[in-house]
Amino acid sequence: MPNHLRVVFSFGLVLVLLMYSSKMKTANLSVMTPLLAFKLVMVAALWGGTFIAGRILAQSLPLMTAAFSRFFVASILLVIVAVKMEGKLPRLNREQILLTAILGFTGIFLYNICFFGALARIPAGRTSLFVSLTPIVTAISASIIFSERLGLRRWIGIVVALIGAIVVITRGDLIGGIADISQSLGLGELMMLGAVFSWATYTLISRKVLEALSPIAATTYGTLWGFVFLSIGAVGEFKDIDWMPLDWRVWTSVFYLGAFGTVLAFIWYYQGIKTVGPSRTAIFTNLVPAFGILFSAVLLGEPILISMVVGGLIAVLGVSLVNKK
């Protein structure tokens, strides 16, 4: 068996084992347990890896096709996992059809257009650092929409995380970067900001969806809707793609993004939302940049700037403040 197929096969075996280990009841949970905290940290690590795999795809395939490939794999695996874990997918009423379609449009379609668009323009490590803004947007929106009380300490944590994000975005030159924002924010940065707002919207809508659907069912339906939206855009790109030169790194990246970066990570992320709410779950995404920087340096040879390290550490401090009991 070729080495790249062995890698993919091994990933598949690990995925199955992890899926069955994640089969747990979340309805009765009300606090951040060590197991849930571990899963949410692993979600951050898996999503940190998506920036490396996404960078490889963004440089090899057109935008829509790259996203389509990811969710082609994810859709198949999610349906299989849903049947294995829950017997069958539940039948949706009209409200649930609308809500899961919005999930697919925001968290799958819009997010991935911005995600791959940003990765085609700026390095993976820098792209991942913009994720630090997600908990801020999510928490503020949740406090407004759901009247979710955050408390002084959590607001301080959010502000700290924002400072970390600003350090990264301005490359450490806070005064100069803010004074001349065009030098800090190019098209790639703006697209990643679009991804942040898309994901915050997805997280907040998920809270309503999870009132009646399990994490695996909500993930599956949202992914299927997103796959449909992406398919419409990808069809026009297929005829212009030369598939033969694509190497094992591209296909391994597709599988990683679909199986680990989508299926496993989304299920655990949903468990967090259902258990401790969107704000406390989203704050773990502040750990994504640390993993993204580490993986991009090791796997892609990208440089690590001082501003990345400082900003990332400040973001981690924000995580600890928000989740401290």
pLDDT tens, position by position, 208-263? 888 888 888 888 999 999 999 999 989 888 888 888 888 899 999 999 999 999 88
- Domain count within the chain: 1
Burial class (CB in 10 A: 0-12, 13-18, 19+), 305: middle
- Is 26 within the bounds of a domain? no
- Is 219 within the bounds of a domain? yes
Domain that holds residue 288: 32-323
CA angle 246-251-255, nearest 5°?
Answer: 165
- Is 23 within the bounds of a domain? no
- Is 141 within the bounds of a domain? yes
pLDDT tens by residue, 24-44: 333 344 577 888 889 999 998
- Is 149 within the bounds of a domain? yes
What is the distance between the alpha carbons of residues 263 and 257, in angstroms, rounded to a whole number?
9
Buried b (16+ CB within 10 A) or exposed e, 49-76: bbbbbbbbbbebbbbbbbbbbbbbbbbe
- Is 7 within the bounds of a domain? no
Render 93-121 in DSSP notation, one character per residue. -HHHHHHHHHHIIIIIIIHHHHHHHHHTT
Q: Is the pLDDT of residue 91 over 60?
A: yes
- Is 69 within the bounds of a domain? yes
- Is 80 within the bounds of a domain? yes
pTM of the entire structure? 0.75
First-to-last C-alpha distance (Å) of the chain: 50
